[in-house]
Amino acid sequence: MSFSRLISGIKKMNNPTVAGLDPKLDFIPEHIKNKSFSEYGETLAGAADALLQFNIGLIDALCDIVPAVKPQSAYYEMYGFEGVKTLAKTIEYAKSKGMFVIVDGKRNDIGPTASAYAAAYLGETAVGGGKLSAFGADALTVNGYLGTDGLTPFTDICKANDKGIFILVKTSNKSSGELQDKNLDDKTVYEFMGQICENLGADTVDEYGYSAVGAVVGATYPEQLTELRKKLPHTFFLVPGYGAQGGGAAGLRGAFDENGLGAVVNSSRAIMCAYKTENAPGEAFAEAARREALRMRDDINANI
């Protein structure tokens, strides 16, 4: 149920991290872009092909040491429907390599439309006499501003299909406190949203003690991570903001429970662009990404 497939991957690899696949063209080595552009021209199709080749290289380099990938939908949509095709193929490829796939789409809408998003990413779509999988991810990030009737269509599909969602609770960006830290009657907005996660997930708690309704809580706010871990004992955390956004491993300790579980920490750019940081040639991007993923794993494990 719920995130147990992710958690068992984390335990097996002793690695509570997820590799963000946010493949801006600027991040992609020249040799990959040159090949794609020579085949498809400097077009959205050419860019989308370069993204896919880059992702395949990263997935091949990471799939035996990192349990999950998190493609960020925006970086595919910016290359049009061709980019979205690469998103679909990336999900398919990562799953074929045994990885748990979290689509970071932060989707949200009123009930019937939320059902359409849930079908798109976590369920199936009725077409003619059958049902087809559109994207087939394992989990999706969701924005809860609309309230529970915009969330239950997602949790219904999670229950039916053994999938999960992560609701935005306390995001990693500098402005997140403008609304999220504000006080409501008896709690902050982010605590309120966290409580929605606990409530909606209550009947999906798995053998590890976590439900199918996780929360996004930024590594850039260690105090809130610690506070929320205590207040939300059944809510699994997706933690962005480690590395490039400034969140260090020491600040992550509070995200984890006494068994060292309870969170999966994302790193995107540091892994994708490790070859640049190392001043390695573009041809070595995959090995460099693997080195950075191992460094991150050890850095975090040393702190939890």
Residues with a catalytic annotation lie at 106
Could you tell me which of 98, 103, 53 has the C-alpha nearest to residue 74? 103
Cα–Cα dist 275/289, whole Å: 7
- Smallest distance from the beta carbon of 261 to its own copies, in angstroms? 26
Tokens matching residue 92? 């398919």
CB of 277 to its own copies, least distance (A): 17
Euclidean distance between CA atoms 47 and 33, whole angstroms = 7
* Residue 113 vs 226, nearer CB to its own copies: 113
CB of residue 191 to its own copies, shortest distance in Å: 12
Contact 214, 167 (CB under 8 A): yes
| 184: alpha, beta or left? (left if phi > 0; alpha if psi -120 to 50) | beta
Number of Cβ atoms within 10 Å of the Cβ of 302: 9
Choose between 43 and 161: whose C-beta lies nearer to its own copies: 43
Q: How far is the CB of 298 from its own copies (least distance, A)?
A: 26
Choose between 111 and 209: whose C-beta lies nearer to its own copies: 111
φ, ψ for residue 129, nearest 5 deg: -85, -5
By beta-carbon proximity to its own copies, the closer residue of 103 and 304 is 103
